[in-house]
Amino acid sequence: MTTATRPNYREDVAGRANVEDTPELLAYYDELASMNTAALWTVANKIEPWQPQSSSVPVVWRFQDLREHVLRSIDLVSPEKAGRRVVYLDNPGRRDVSAAVGWLYSGLQAMRPGERASAHAHAASALRFIMEGSGAYTIVDGHRMTLGANDFVLTPNGCWHEHGVSEDGAPCIWQDGLDIPLVNALEANFYSVHPDLQQADTAPVDYAVAAWGGRGLVPANDNWQHAYSPLLKYEWAPTYEALSNFARVTDGSPFDGVLMDYINPKTGGPVMQTIGASMQMLRPGEHTKAHRQVGSFIYQCAKGKGYSIINGQRLDWQERDIFCVPSWMFHEHVNLSASEDACLFCFHDLPVMKSLGLYREEALKDNGGHQPIVQP
Amino acid sequence: MTTATRPNYREDVAGRANVEDTPELLAYYDELASMNTAALWTVANKIEPWQPQSSSVPVVWRFQDLREHVLRSIDLVSPEKAGRRVVYLDNPGRRDVSAAVGWLYSGLQAMRPGERASAHAHAASALRFIMEGSGAYTIVDGHRMTLGANDFVLTPNGCWHEHGVSEDGAPCIWQDGLDIPLVNALEANFYSVHPDLQQADTAPVDYAVAAWGGRGLVPANDNWQHAYSPLLKYEWAPTYEALSNFARVTDGSPFDGVLMDYINPKTGGPVMQTIGASMQMLRPGEHTKAHRQVGSFIYQCAKGKGYSIINGQRLDWQERDIFCVPSWMFHEHVNLSASEDACLFCFHDLPVMKSLGLYREEALKDNGGHQPIVQP
Amino acid sequence: MTTATRPNYREDVAGRANVEDTPELLAYYDELASMNTAALWTVANKIEPWQPQSSSVPVVWRFQDLREHVLRSIDLVSPEKAGRRVVYLDNPGRRDVSAAVGWLYSGLQAMRPGERASAHAHAASALRFIMEGSGAYTIVDGHRMTLGANDFVLTPNGCWHEHGVSEDGAPCIWQDGLDIPLVNALEANFYSVHPDLQQADTAPVDYAVAAWGGRGLVPANDNWQHAYSPLLKYEWAPTYEALSNFARVTDGSPFDGVLMDYINPKTGGPVMQTIGASMQMLRPGEHTKAHRQVGSFIYQCAKGKGYSIINGQRLDWQERDIFCVPSWMFHEHVNLSASEDACLFCFHDLPVMKSLGLYREEALKDNGGHQPIVQP
Amino acid sequence: MTTATRPNYREDVAGRANVEDTPELLAYYDELASMNTAALWTVANKIEPWQPQSSSVPVVWRFQDLREHVLRSIDLVSPEKAGRRVVYLDNPGRRDVSAAVGWLYSGLQAMRPGERASAHAHAASALRFIMEGSGAYTIVDGHRMTLGANDFVLTPNGCWHEHGVSEDGAPCIWQDGLDIPLVNALEANFYSVHPDLQQADTAPVDYAVAAWGGRGLVPANDNWQHAYSPLLKYEWAPTYEALSNFARVTDGSPFDGVLMDYINPKTGGPVMQTIGASMQMLRPGEHTKAHRQVGSFIYQCAKGKGYSIINGQRLDWQERDIFCVPSWMFHEHVNLSASEDACLFCFHDLPVMKSLGLYREEALKDNGGHQPIVQP
């Protein structure tokens, strides 16, 4: 960097850097640069911001726009050549890292009946949320799981996994969610292709739900050693039942309505170490208050229609639409139906923020907790 | 203690005490006794046994024998005078501490429709398992729970709790399980009567199950601070469903068939810090192998009929019968039906043994893992 | 039990049992007894006390009285016959379980130079605190540790261990502390004699302190898997230094002066799962306030002189004297010197109480926090 | 991005993406881009690398080169204008985030006697390691700590902190280490200037070491609630003593010689949630074997001289030199003295990798575990 173009982040506030450029200083900076060093005060105000300023922008991806393109990918490229046919969500502020928001990746994957992707493993953690079709299945470390709409399945860090659609199924579309950008950024990602390209089944189909899906009961004497949930698959029917039951007895969160977290039954904690997931119900006509949180969120509308206001922008959504909330942006949600509930599936990186002691949240105090909508 | 009657526990084994009594030693022992001391070698072999020798004996309490006596207690004493009408299980080896086995108390409690016991709290932890009747309820810290047969409810350490039967119910009998003997032995028990004698409801009926009974989902942002399970009530229908599901995919334990633990969904651990509970299914004709464990167990047959062999004694049981397994006694279970499964509810003190690092278990190696039956 | 001698624990308090004996009831009780059952209301008030009533009594064991008897044991019995020459502390309220207080055992062991006890292991946890002599050592799982006055060493649950005094040493006396009564009561004790009777050294002498005795540093990449402290030995010099340093910066506890806990550096928790230990300094002239705690305590005066008031009884102590505080008895401590500090070593069962959720404590509110002394 | 410049990351390996660009596909990609989406197979091989490829490069910063420039900063800018006079280490591969390696920041800060920086707080975690001078102190949440050469002090996430040099001191230089780049990347950083610009002392000087610096003892009944170490300051003398003691009894690690971790005495874990620290001793003539780890490391030579080989590059260092090891690069260390030990202080982000389940390590198998040196 030459001194001519050197930025300076001065602030005229006590305790902040406020050093004017002088010829002497500019020469000094050049000397420092020659030794792989620099002067902190030239960047201090930039690298110590008053509060997070996300580089991501709020986006809604509408399924009616994307569906055709996603299905077209099946015709355009073969599974052998493409590996997976996925249209991924590319946040305008995060194109350099292929993220949908923050350090989270998401994409829509399509597959024809009878297709089966090759088995692989990576240090990144993944989940998929089924959007349409029938006959989908995922195999995780030899455990095959059948999947229907709004089911949610884990393929955690280090597991061999592969996806497929049975011969008698219908073309499937699902949402993938991964922490690939985070794990890459942390310079911690590894990738392996399964030596046989496909796994053998080593347990009865849907073992995980049969063993770990009890209501308040788990297998005794099990020797589960992994840091992720042995339940692996979370089906829609019991999820909606849980939300409905909880809705009967709770006032809900002012910010999120009836919000429940998917958990690891071995620990009561999040489903994976780096990605958490939740499902929430907005009751008919519900308009929540705004708050902001350290962490990035990707939502899919699993039922109903409404809109969210994120940093003053109104993003309308209906079933299958996906939208994101960047870190530390105020957000509030609205169910536009006066008679039907709306359900939002969400995955996020709160487990990262909480493990590292970085989580904070704050309610919007002004205007009754509601944001004015900014015209774009 | 005079020297005349002083016992001596000599063993002729290297590393064990083997000191003969002499007049000089007996005089020395008397001197020590005068100073509130004694010689270790006179008791070392007694207080350092090679392995546990439980003072409890295996017992089966047959419901057909007890039922009439339990119901008669309602006529004999009033709730005002008796507090609770309970026939408790009094192990012949543990009468001094009113225990059913080891340090666990258990009793059968009866109540008429319209009755309601006074609210109280204690440092002991308790559970109740419903055996017959209708309209039973328990209130724990203002949370009212309705109860049916084979439902299991917690009233943990320190909670205000009370039991009742609704006006439109039928006379109820249930099994109480507590760690009263343990908490008394640890000189840690406290008892309080609720200042109003009865609690007000402070939450919707059956809040706990509606909020915490989801399959892999829990309320987000809850602030549960207690060391016991917020689920509080574990109903029979989902319990039996969980066992049936697990049975489809597992070979089961060689010692216990299809065994599942009731858990605290906040932690994945036991329901309370001092008492764990499980339900197990013995498949038609199943005869498990024998093992022994450090810990005391109280079983109730919730379904079916069979027998258990405990330290060589055959104890037959059918629905509603209760039996105990003392610490470190070999035990194996048999389902006598060739067509129906049998289910055993169990509560035990394994959480104590595991928290204190004392748990051990051992399979019976001889005779194909089966005990010869000792004729009484 | 015949009806003639049946006790009855009536209390005339709402919510408590208060049933008079009648011929009909007494006959009913006999019927119940014939089925290994009994009526709860006959014992409810006994087994649900308002608060703990320890069966132990406060005792001080004065070293000047005991020393001669302890040393005499070496002459009276051989190590081969006695195993260990120990005079144990026998609380008048706990003679049935050979406990010094509550469920804790303690004894004074003596050994001559050149002697070495046989190696053994048990499920009970143990510690020893050196009182006098030189050349003492303990070997724990092949790790030999040298010991001097006021050093404290662990021989935890399941470890092979043996004690000895080197040929060039002087006769040694130390205090043993164990949870033998607790582990026996829990029917969880096991005992093994080492197959070779003596262990070989498998690590450099005093490895544990060299590796784990750093100030805020521990070995990296160690694979310690046990639930007890890898430090094993806690020496007097750094202990007294730690107390002196802490005393410079703290006001101390109103109940305990300058109180520090020995910890497991792997966890920050107690040294073993069932026994905790502490050392406290009473500053010159300090007279603490009274409180009571759930848990049993055994103290040895390591330095200085003073007295403690326990449940109204004054027990005077000086260096090497031992005294006990039973559960839920008020206690306060006094340093009788106006110029010298006094130090009390203590071991206790608080880890048990805390692991099981049973710990409570309460300050004495009356009389400025001080107990009136009861004349014996 | 126009199709003209679109990169393509094809690999001709089964299970990897290998799709040639065609006019139809390029048109499809443009359509996707218009909807904030893209095709995964165009970037899959890039974002799912076979193993980490760090963007950082190995660098050594030699103190003899930097010292003059660091001291000159004191003359060039005032503390009022600059906040802090720091020359930071700017890895050529990480200039965009001002990191020394990976997501770790480090700088050399200088201060004159009598100066005192303004107090502030941030969500980033920080440490400082004293290099030269006298009279340095740091105040953390009202706790003043005095600092000498090779002392290491924490100013964790969320704490008010400020640095100064006493009037009677000598000009000081120290190394700062922070996770600013990580916390910024996670969009989780907050910054506050203390309302009074300077903190009042609220505890005796050096309270933390006096209270928490015991050898195996900690204050009883403390109510420390933070996730970072209450010890805060780790002094050189006991650190070197710990290394020397450990060196007497260990063979050491083949990769790191005598390596000890600084710990939080409340947990036995790392000193902060996002930054760990260690000190290691390389014995005279020691040449360790190479391994690689997921995680980034910054070393300062605290004593002695030698060199490290990082990814085949030899970097020579002596006392006060700083060097870095990027993630997943092989590294081995050499002590060039045949008679003196060498000590390396290190801080790193292993707590992040381990909390998130991303840590891996691998020994170099070839060539006896030693890397051939690549000529630059």
Tens of pLDDT, residues D196-233: 999 999 999 999 999 999 999 999 999 899 999 999 99
Question: CA-CA distance, D326 to D318, in Å (whole number)?
Answer: 20
For chain D, list the contacting chains (3+ Cβ pairs, <8 Å).
A, C
Question: CA-CA distance, A91 to A183, in Å (whole number)?
Answer: 18
Question: CA-CA distance, C143 to C138, in Å (whole number)?
Answer: 8
Per-residue pLDDT tens for A52-87? Answer: 999 999 999 999 999 999 999 999 999 889 989 999
* Residue A252 to chain B, least CA–CA distance (Å): 9
Count contacts between A and B (CB, < 8 Å).
152
Yes or no, beta carbons of D157 and A357 under 8 Å apart:
yes
Q: In this structure, what are the phi and psi dihedrals at residue C252, rounded to the nearest 5 degrees?
A: 85, 175
The two three-digit tokens of residue B16, written as one number: 């064990």
Nearest by CB: B220 against A229, A238, A260 = A260
Q: Where are the alpha helices (DSSP H) in B188-273?
A: 207-212, 236-249
Q: What is the pLDDT of residue B375?
A: 73
3-state secondary structure of C61: strand
Q: What is the pLDDT of residue D5?
A: 61
* Residue B242 to chain C, least CA–CA distance (Å): 29
Which residue of A150, A224, A233, A246 is the best one to mutate when testing the B interface, meaning the one whose CB has the most B CBs within 10 A?
A246
Asked if pLDDT for residue C4 goes beyond 70, the answer is no
Answer whether B159's CB lies under 8 Å from B140's CB.
Answer: yes
Q: In this structure, what are the phi and psi dihedrals at residue A326, rounded to the nearest 5 degrees?
A: -70, 165
Yes or no, beta carbons of A187 and D83 under 8 Å apart:
no
Nearest by CB: D188 against A24, A181, A327 = A327
Question: CA-CA distance, B48 to A320, in Å (whole number)?
Answer: 68
Nearest by CB: C38 against B50, B90, B123 = B90
Element (H, E) at B347: strand B342-348
Question: CA-CA distance, A262 to A127, in Å (whole number)?
Answer: 12
Answer whether C297's CB lies under 8 Å from C101's CB.
Answer: yes
For chain C, list the contacting chains (3+ Cβ pairs, <8 Å).
B, D
Residues of chain B falling short of pLDDT 50: 1-4
Enumerate the residues of chain B whose CB falls inside 8 A of the CB of residue A279. Answer: 217
Nearest residue on chain C to D253, alpha-carbon basis = C221
Question: DSSP letter string over A281-329?
Answer: EEPTT-BPPPEEESS-EEEEEEESEEEEEETTEEEEEETT-EEEE-TT-
Enumerate the residues of chain D whose CB falls inside 8 A of the CB of residue C212. Answer: 216
Nearest by CB: A260 against B203, B219, B266 = B219
One-letter amino acid of B126? A
User: What domains sit in chain B, N to C, each tagged with a CATH number?
Assistant: 3-47 (no CATH), 60-212 (2.60.120.10), 233-369 (2.60.120.10)
Nearest by CB: A98 against D43, D90, D157 = D43
* Residue C255 to chain D, least CA–CA distance (Å): 11
Confidence of residue C143 (pLDDT cuts 50, 70, 90): very high
Q: What is the pLDDT of residue A375?
A: 74
Per-residue pLDDT tens for A315-366? Answer: 999 999 999 999 999 999 999 999 999 999 999 999 999 999 999 999 999 9
Question: CA-CA distance, D328 to D311, in Å (whole number)?
Answer: 9
Count contacts between C and D (CB, < 8 Å).
152
Going by C-alpha positions, the residue among C72, C239, C85, C206 that lies closest to residue C137 is C206
Nearest by CB: C47 against B48, B89, B98 = B98
Yes or no, beta carbons of B239 and A217 under 8 Å apart:
yes
In this structure, the number of other CB atoms found within 10 A of the CB of residue A368 comes to 8
Question: What is the signed CA dihedral for B352, B353, B356, B359, rounded to 10 degrees?
Answer: -160
- First CA to last CA distance, chain D: 36
Going by C-alpha positions, the residue among A103, B222, B53 that lies closest to residue C184 is B53
Enumerate the residues of chain C whose CB falls inside 8 A of the CB of residue D250. Answer: 211, 219
Enumerate the residues of chain B whose CB falls inside 8 A of the CB of residue C322. Answer: none
Question: CA-CA distance, A184 to D54, in Å (whole number)?
Answer: 9
C36: left (phi over 0), alpha (psi -120 to 50) or beta: left
Q: What is the mean pLDDT of chain A?
A: 96
Q: Which residues of D212-237 are buried (b: 16+ CB within 10 A; e: fewer)?
A: bbbbbbbbbeeebebbbbbbbbbbbe
Enumerate the residues of chain B whose CB falls inside 8 A of the CB of residue C103. Answer: 185-186
* Share of chain B residues as helix, strand and coil, in percent rounded to the nearest 5: 20, 35, 45
* Residue A155 to chain B, least CA–CA distance (Å): 16
Yes or no, beta carbons of A89 and D37 under 8 Å apart:
yes
Asked if pLDDT for residue C2 goes beyond 50, the answer is no
Q: What is the pLDDT of residue C1?
A: 41
Question: CA-CA distance, C249 to D204, in Å (whole number)?
Answer: 6
Yes or no, beta carbons of C327 and B180 under 8 Å apart:
no
Nearest residue on chain B to C360, alpha-carbon basis = B188
Q: Which residues of D310-327 are buried (b: 16+ CB within 10 A; e: fewer)?
A: bbebbbebbbbbbbbbbb
Yes or no, beta carbons of A36 and D360 under 8 Å apart:
no
One-letter amino acid of A14? A
Answer whether C238's CB lies under 8 Å from C262's CB.
Answer: no
Nearest residue on chain B to A212, alpha-carbon basis = B246
How many helices and strands (H and E) does chain C possess? Answer: 8, 22
3-state secondary structure of B23: helix
Going by C-alpha positions, the residue among D356, B355, D66 that lies closest to residue A357 is D356
Question: CA-CA distance, D159 to D145, in Å (whole number)?
Answer: 14
Q: What is the pLDDT of residue B15?
A: 86
* Residue C278 to chain B, least CA–CA distance (Å): 19
Answer whether A269's CB lies under 8 Å from A263's CB.
Answer: yes
Question: DSSP letter string over D127-175?
Answer: EEEEEEEEEEEEEETTEEEEE-TT-EEEE-TT--EEEEEEEEEEEEEEE
* Mode of pairing for the β-strands spanning A37-39 and C342-348: unpaired
Answer whether B85's CB lies under 8 Å from B48's CB.
Answer: no
Question: CA-CA distance, C78 to C88, in Å (whole number)?
Answer: 17
Going by C-alpha positions, the residue among B324, B273, B361, B349 that lies closest to residue B103 is B349
In this structure, the number of other CB atoms found within 10 A of the CB of residue A71 comes to 17
Q: What is the pLDDT of residue C7?
A: 77
Yes or no, beta carbons of D36 and A89 under 8 Å apart:
yes
Confidence of residue A376 (pLDDT cuts 50, 70, 90): low
* Residue C121 to chain B, least CA–CA distance (Å): 10
Yes or no, beta carbons of B69 and C33 under 8 Å apart:
no
Question: CA-CA distance, A220 to D86, in Å (whole number)?
Answer: 57
Per-residue pLDDT tens for A100-157? Answer: 999 999 999 999 999 998 999 999 999 999 999 999 999 999 999 999 999 999 999 9
- First CA to last CA distance, chain B: 36
Which residue of B224, B225, B246 is the best one to mutate when testing the A interface, meaning the one whose CB has the most A CBs within 10 A?
B246
Q: What is the pLDDT of residue C156?
A: 98
Q: For the purposes of burial, counting CB atoms within 10 Å of the CB of C13, is it exposed (0-12), middle (13-18) or buried (19 or more)?
A: exposed
Residues of chain D falling short of pLDDT 70: 1-5, 376
Nearest by CB: A216 against B203, B210, B263 = B263
Nearest by CB: D262 against C216, C249, C250 = C216
Question: CA-CA distance, D251 to A183, in Å (whole number)?
Answer: 35
Element (H, E) at A135: strand A126-140
* Structural Rg of chain A based on CA atoms: 23
Q: What is the pLDDT of residue C5?
A: 61
* Residue A114 to chain D, least CA–CA distance (Å): 17
Residues 6+ apart with CB under 8 A from B202: B141, B142, B143
Yes or no, beta carbons of C265 and D268 under 8 Å apart:
yes
Enumerate the residues of chain D whose CB falls inside 8 A of the CB of residue C204. Answer: 248-249
Yes or no, beta carbons of A219 and B260 under 8 Å apart:
yes
For chain A, list the contacting chains (3+ Cβ pairs, <8 Å).
B, D
Yes or no, beta carbons of C16 and B326 under 8 Å apart:
no
Going by C-alpha positions, the residue among A105, A108, A33, A95 that lies closest to residue A69 is A108
Over range C296-300, report the average pLDDT: 98
Say which residue the tokens 């060739």 belong to: B338
Nearest by CB: D48 against A122, A188, A194 = A122
Question: CA-CA distance, B52 to B295, in Å (whole number)?
Answer: 10
Yes or no, beta carbons of A218 and B268 under 8 Å apart:
yes
Question: CA-CA distance, D304 to B7, in Å (whole number)?
Answer: 69
One-letter amino acid of A237? A
Nearest residue on chain D to A326, alpha-carbon basis = D187
Enumerate the residues of chain A whose CB falls inside 8 A of the CB of residue D52. Answer: 187-190
Over range C54-83, report the average pLDDT: 96
Query: What 8-state DSSP symbol labels residue C289?
Result: P
The two three-digit tokens of residue D218, written as one number: 């900690």
- CA distances (Å), origin C94, targets A31, C156, D305: 80, 24, 64
Q: Where are the alpha helices (DSSP H) in C117-214?
A: 180-185, 207-212
* Residue B333 to chain A, least CA–CA distance (Å): 16
Q: What is the pLDDT of residue B3?
A: 45
Yes or no, beta carbons of D52 and A189 under 8 Å apart:
yes
The two three-digit tokens of residue C242, written as one number: 């730690």
Yes or no, beta carbons of B229 and A219 under 8 Å apart:
no
Nearest by CB: C52 against B1, B53, B189 = B189
- The ipTM assigned to this model is 0.96
Going by C-alpha positions, the residue among C320, C346, C345, C323 that lies closest to residue C67 is C320
Yes or no, beta carbons of C218 and D261 under 8 Å apart:
yes
Enumerate the residues of chain A whose CB falls inside 8 A of the CB of residue B256. Answer: 220-221
* Mode of pairing for the β-strands spanning A361-363 and B331-335: unpaired
Asked if pLDDT for residue C218 goes beyond 50, the answer is yes
Enumerate the residues of chain C whose CB falls inside 8 A of the CB of residue D267. Answer: 267-268
Count contacts between B and C (CB, < 8 Å).
280
Question: CA-CA distance, C163 to C147, in Å (whole number)?
Answer: 10
Going by C-alpha positions, the residue among C237, C233, C241, C227 that lies closest to residue C213 is C233
Element (H, E) at A33: helix A23-34
* Residue C160 to chain B, least CA–CA distance (Å): 13
Q: What is the pLDDT of residue A15?
A: 86
* Structural Rg of chain B based on CA atoms: 23
